[in-house]
Every structure is written in structure tokens, then in C-alpha cells.
Amino acid sequence: MPEKPNNDKSGERIAKVMARAGLASRREAEAWIAAGRVTVNGAVISSPALNVTSRDRIVVDGEPLPQRARTRLFRYYKPRGLVTTHADPQGRPTIFRALPKRLPRVISVGRLDINSEGLLLLTNDGGLARMLELPSTGWLRSYRVRALGRVTQEALDRLRGGITVAGIHYGAIEATLDRAQGANVWLTVGIREGKNREVRKVLEHLGLQVNRLIRVAYGPFELGELDDAEVAEVPTEELRAALGRELAAQANADFESPLEHEAASAPALHSGARPRVRERDGAKQPLDSGTRTGTRDRNDRRKKQRRDRTGGPRPKYPRPKE
């Protein structure tokens, strides 16, 4: 006979425990529970209002909940044409089907819509993902934007005070007019809230039609030299330093546990070597901090001049001023 779930107030909510194990976000975990996919001590549960401890046996879709592993973070260049979800009702291709098989089970930190590209952070720790998504973290999310139309720097400067569009208020936005290219303009845009399609909606309100949107940084983590579909792991010590003690504690990050069994048996994504440095525009900049994985041959790419899809030189990605 199944044991009754132990609703120990000293434990943690089951959805939080599932998210930390890297199975899903907390919201997705709650949906799985409502769908009857989770059992605790042999009994199917239907509500996430349950605290569990290490003594409880949690099973999801017939498989025991994985033991917690070391908190890991990956930088991924999300290509256009992929949706940021595990399963799409419309049958569109998803990022999780396109990721290298050697990665552990990961979830995304926020989303990029199907027509957007660039830096998407992936982690095996749901607690870290949730913390990094919160606007209260205050991290600047930087984008390079190409848009059809014309705009003045004066109009962009007014966004620093926030703006309300269609009844939705958006906080301070940092935007710089970089250059005009034919009928288009290139902008650098920085936001801290990350509301749904925020950059597109605000620029549309200014009379611009966004036709390319590239996220180039999320807080201290940058797209760097990654190309379409490439992945690079952020080294543990670099991740620990970027979070600092306060954010690491809020996320309940674990930097001491062993890596997942699957990752330990696969080739390492990061060599642990000191980042190489190359000269760019007269200043030294670090190359990618970890070994990258992807579907294209990097050596062939390096022999060719990197070009923007409009046919001009691929734009650099200056960071907005903090």
C-alpha cells in the first residue's frame, strides 16, 4: 500500500525540488503534477502544495527523480526558426531537439521568440533559472537590432524614463542609434525586465519594424564568438564569481556536488584552460571561455569573412553603457 506523502513543513515544495533537479521549470513541474505524472512514496499527487524532504521517494513519469548534481550554466547561440520550449503544440522545431546530445538535461533561462536569435542561457538547475529570470536581479539584457524605418537618438533617449504601450508599462530602456544601412537602422538596446516581446513592441511604437533581433549579452554573460547552434559551458569558478554570494544563495546553487553521470562519461565541453586572447579594434578581448560544440565545421568558418545576412559585414556587438 502506498505510503502517505510526508507534508513536512521543514521540507521544500515539490515543484521547487523538481526544478532544482533540472527536470523542468517550477511552472512546468506544477503542470506535470496536475496531470498526474508525479508520485511521492508511491502515491500519485495532484497538487503542488506539498513539501518533501530527502526521505521522500519522488517518481516522475515512472522514473526516480535524479539526484541533485552540480549547478551548471551554458551559453547557446539560438538560431532563428526554433522555439524555446520542450514540446510545441504546432509541431515547430524546438531548441531542445537541436541541442548536442552530450549536454545534460537543461532548461532555458527565459525565452527568445522564434524569430529572434543569439544568446540563450541554459542550466541544469531550475532554481538558478528562476532567479536569473527575475527582473529584481537587475541584470542588463543587451540586443543588437536591425529595424526598417528611421528614428532619432533623442527619441531613443526618452525610453530611459520608461514607456507605456497598449496599456503595458515598460521600465527604463537603454537604446543607442548605431548606424543607418539602406532603409534600415542598427540599434543597441538594453532592457532589465524582459517582458514578452518587449523590444519589438517598444520599437514598433516608435515606428520601427524589427527584422532582426540578436541578444548579445545577459548580465555578465556574452554571446562572444559563438555562431549558430554552438554551445559553450561557463566554467564553475566563472559562474560562481559572476553570481556572487548573494545571488548564489538566493538560487541555492550547488557548486560542490559531482557532475551528472552522463556528462562525466562524455567529452568535456570546457577544457579548463586559460582563455585565449585576440586583438580586436586595438583592444584585447578574450575568446570563448570554453570548448564549443555545434553542427558546423569551425575551421571552415574561420577561413571566411563573417558576414551579416544582409550582405554587409557582420556587425560588432558593443555593450550598452551600464
> What is the domain-level CATH number for residue 185?
3.30.70.1560
Asked if residue 29 and residue 90 are part of one domain, the reply reads no
CA distances from 74 to 64, 223, 270 (A): 25, 11, 10
Q: For residues 161 and 105, what is the distance between their CA atoms, to the nearest angstrom?
A: 40
Give domain status of residue 210, yes or no. yes
Give domain status of residue 83, yes or no. yes
Give domain status of residue 111, yes or no. yes
CA-based max dimension of the chain: 72
CA distances from 8 to 11, 53, 87, 227, 300 (A): 5, 7, 33, 47, 57
| Residue 254 annotated among the catalytic residues of the structure | no
Q: What integer pLDDT is reported at residue 28 of this predicted model?
A: 85
Give domain status of residue 275, yes or no. no
Asked if residue 195 and residue 160 are part of one domain, the reply reads yes
Strand partners, 74: 122, 233
What is the rounded average pLDDT of the residues 197-221?
Answer: 97
Q: What CATH number is attached to the domain comprising 101?
A: 3.30.70.580
Q: For residues 3 and 55, what is the distance between their CA atoms, to the nearest angstrom?
A: 12
Asked if residue 247 and residue 193 are part of one domain, the reply reads no
The C-alpha cell of 39 is what? Answer: 508520485
* Phi-psi group of 90: left, alpha or beta (phi > 0 → left; psi -120 to 50 → alpha; rest → beta): alpha
Asked if residue 101 and residue 80 are part of one domain, the reply reads yes
Asked if 269 and 72 count as a contact pair (C-beta separation under 8 A), the reply is: no
* pLDDT above 50 for 272: no
Domain with 233, as residue range(s), is 73-135+226-265
* pLDDT above 70 for 110: yes
Q: Determine which one of 56, 61, 88, 113 is catalytic.
A: 113
* Number of compact structural domains in the chain: 3
Asked if residue 130 and residue 144 are part of one domain, the reply reads no
Angle between helices 126-133 and 26-34 (to 10 degrees): 120
Pick the residue with more confidence: 32 or 304? 32
Segment 48-97, tens digit of pLDDT: 999 998 789 999 999 898 777 889 999 999 999 999 988 888 889 999 99
Which of 44, 64, 84 corresponds to the end of one domain?
64
Comparing C-alpha atoms, which of 67, 64, 100, 98 is closest to residue 80?
Answer: 98
Q: What CATH number is attached to the domain comprising 50?
A: 3.10.290.10
* pLDDT above 60 for 168: yes
Strand partners, 122: 74, 108
Give domain status of residue 298, yes or no. no
Segment 226-266, tens digit of pLDDT: 999 999 999 999 999 999 999 999 988 989 888 865 433 33
Asked if residue 246 and residue 100 are part of one domain, the reply reads yes
Asked if residue 141 and residue 130 are part of one domain, the reply reads no
SS3 sequence of 99-162:
CCCCCCCCEECCCCCCCCEEEEEEECCHHHHHHHHCHHHCCCEEEEEEEECCCCHHHHHHHHHC
Give domain status of residue 7, yes or no. no
Asked if 231 and 290 count as a contact pair (C-beta separation under 8 A), the reply is: no
Q: What integer pLDDT is reported at residue 313 of this predicted model?
A: 42
Q: Look up residue 307 and give its DSSP letter.
A: B
* pLDDT above 90 for 217: yes
Asked if 291 and 269 count as a contact pair (C-beta separation under 8 A), the reply is: yes
Place of cell 527584422: 211
